[in-house]
A and B are shown apart, each in its own frame.
Chain A
Amino acid sequence: MKKSLLLSAALVMAGTAVSAETLRIPHELGYGGSESIDPISPQRFYEAIQNVYSRLVRQGEDGRPSPDLALSWEATPDAKEWTFKLREGVTFHNGNAFTAEDVAFSLMRTQSETIDSPTKGVMEIIDHVEVVDPMTAKVVLKQTHADFPLLVMDYRIKMLDAETCGNELDALCESGVGTGPFQLVDYDPLGTTTLKRFDNYYNGPAGTENMELIAIADQDARVAALQAGQIDFIYALSAEQTPLFANNPNFTVQSVPTGRWVGLVMNTQTAPFDDPRVRKAIRMTADRDALGKLVYGKDGFITSCDHPVWSGDQYRADIDCPRDIEGAKALLAEAGYADGLTVELFVSDISEGAVKMAEVLQNQAKDAGITIELIQAPSDGYWGDVWMKEAFFATGWSQRPADQILNEAYRSTAAWNETGWNSSEFDAQLDAARGELDFDARKAVYGEMQKTLWETGGSFIPVHLNTVRAFSSKLSGIQPVEDFSIRYEDVVKSGSGS
C-alpha cells in the first residue's frame, strides 16, 4: 500500500498522468495481414511501428524537425556532413543501450537492395555514417542536402537495435524491439496486436498501460466499432461520417489541415496514359472545387493542381488549374482520341472518399468525351494486388515535406514511383534542389518541378485534405497534429465517465 501510494505521489509530482487503461486503435489491414513490424518494409505496420520505435528527429508542433533520440544536429557549411548528438541513457525494450552504432545500422539498412524499402530512393543520398563516439553520429552525404533532417523525420526512419537485428543490413528485422513508448507483446496483424507501456521510455511512461491495434479493414465498420465503444479512436472520417460524432458528448472530433491526399494515378508507361496529352486532358476535366465539396464537404479540403506539395509547405508552388473542357477535347484530338476515350479505373475503399472521388471525376470527365469505367476492388489487400499493378488506380498519401514526397513518388528509381515517372531531367532537378543552399533558388527549383507535374505528370491530386478524426471523450492528450505526429504516449484514458 505504501509502495503504491509512493508511486502515485511520484507520478503526480512528475506531472505525468498514467492509467491502467487500454487504448484501442484500429488498423486498416491494408496489406491483408502480411504487415511487417520492420519500419522500412514495403508492408510496414504503421500503427505498430509508430509506437514501438523512435526516430532521430520528429516533427515539432511548427512542422519543423524537433528532437527525438537526437538532441541536436549541425551541418558543415556545404551541408554534406550532418552530426547528430544523441540522447543519453536511452535503452531498447530488451535493455540494450541506444548508441551511435544503432544509428549507423538503422540508416544504412534503408539502402538495402534486398529489402527494397520505399525509403531507399530518398535515403540513397547517404554515403556512410561515422560513429564519432557512442553518443555522436556523423552522416556523410553523397551530395549536399540543405534539408537533410527533414528526411530522417520520415515516419519510417526508426532506430533499431543493431544487436537484436544481428547487424544484418540486408534482411528485414522483425524483432519488434525499439525504444518507443510501447513494447510489443502479441503480434497479430490479422486480429489484435497488443502493446504494453515501456516503463523505461526516455520521456517517462506512457499515459495508458496497454495499447491494442485491432484489424478492421472497412471504414464503415471502424465507424460502427467506435460508436459501439469497441475502439477508442478513428482516423480519416468522411464529411458524411463526421456528424455522427460531432454533436455527441461521448466523442471528440478534431479537424486538422494536412498534406494528406487521396488521388488517382495514371501509369505514364502504359497506354493510353503514356501520352502526356491524355493525362493532362483527364486532369483538365476536373472542377476541383466542386469535386472537393462533393467528396469532402466545403470545409474538408484545399484545392491542388496535381502536385503533391501541400499548402502549408514552404516550397509549395502557386499554380492555377481551372476546368477546361474544350482544352481537354483539343488535347484528346491531338492524341488521336477525337471520338472519345474509354479507360478503366480501379478503386477501393482504401482511403476516405476514394470511390466517391472516382465517381465525381467519372461524371466530370464525360463532358470531354472521356468514359471512365469504375472497377471496385476489395479494400483488404488493395495495396498489394491493385496499387501500382494497374494502369489507372486510386492512391492515398500522408503528409510529407516537399523534398521527401518528390523524391519518394517521382524519382525514377523510387520504390513507390506509382506513376512510373521516368525523367532524367526531373531527377537532376531533384538533385539540384538538394544541393542548392540558397532558399529562394531552392524554392524556384521545387516550383519548376511541381509545374512539370501539372503539365505532364501522371498524378491526379485535386485536393489536400483536412484530416478529421474522432475519439472517445475518455481520451485526453491528443494534439491537433497530422496523424504521423500524434504522440500516443501522451494520451490518457480515463476509466469512467463519458
Chain B
Amino acid sequence: MADTSTPNATSGSWALEARGLGKRYRRGWALRDCSFRIPAGRICGLVGPNGAGKSTLLGLATRQVQPTTGELRVFGVPVDDPAVMPTFAFLGQEKPLFKRFTVAETLRMGAELNPGWDAVAAERIVRSGNVPPHARVGTLSGGQRTRVAFALAFGKRPDLLLLDEPMSDLDPLARDEMSTLLMAEAVERGTTVVMSSHMLTELEDMCDYLLVVAEGRIRMAGDADALVPAHALVTGVTRDGALPPELDLHTVVETRLQGRQFQAMIRPKGPLPTDWETAEPSLEEVLLAHLRSPDAPSLYTQGARVEAEGTQAA
C-alpha cells in the first residue's frame, strides 16, 4: 500500500486534487484555501466536526456546489467539465430516491442516465439483500433503501465513490452489512472511496487515507499509516505548574495539565527528553486532538500536499 501514497506526477493518478479551493456562502467561508490530493484506489475518510465543511467539500466534488475560489480536479479533469460526471458516484446523507418508483424502475433510471451502466452488478447487490424488485422504494426498510442506493451508485461503475455519512441512519446489523458490501465492491473494482463520517472506529477499520477538516480548513491529509506514527502522546512533570520549554521544540497539537503532570499530543521534531513517558496514540486519539484544537498546525504526508498558492506551512 505504501507505494500508492505518492503516485507519479501525472495527475490522472490522483482521484481528487484541490488547489486553493474555497466556497463562500452568505454567512461566510464554509471552506477556505483547501489544497490537497487523494491518490487513486484508496479508501479515504473525511473527518471533521459538524459544520466543518465536509458536506461542502463533497458538494464541490459532485458539482452540486460551485467553488468561489480555486479549482478541483477529478482524475485530472476539472470538476466543471461535464466529462467528470460518469466517473464519480455520490451517496448523500439522506440517500434520496424516488419513493414511488419500484426497485426495478430505480435501477432502470440508473441504466437510462448512465452510459456505462453495469446492470449485473446493480442487480446482484439488490438481489443479495433480498430486496423485492417490484416493491416500491417508499415501502422498503432503511437498510433495504440504502442497499438500493448503493446498487445505484455501484451500477454506475464509478472510479470515485463519494459518500456523505453513509451509515449514519442504519442499525448495527445493516451498518455491518453495508460496510462489508462497500469494501468488497470497492476492492474488487479498485474504486477510490471518499467517505465522511462521525464514527471514528468505522474510519479506523475502513480507511487507509485521511482528510481532516475543521473550521473550513484542512487540518491533516495523508496516509493513515503515516499520520498516526508522526504523533506521540507524551506525559511528563510540569515546571512550576507550567509546560516545560522543551515542548516548544516540537509541534504541539494539544496539551493538558493535570496537577503536577502534563500530557501533550505532539509531532516530535527530534529526540524527546528521557524523563518523558512516550506512547504511540491511536488514530482516534490523534483525530480527537486535532478536532479539539483547530488552531494546531496542519499536517500533510508526502504527496498529499499540493505545491500551490494558498497552502499553509506544516
A and B assemble together: no
Task: Using CB atoms and an 8 Å cutoff, list the residues of chain A in contact with chain B.
Answer: none
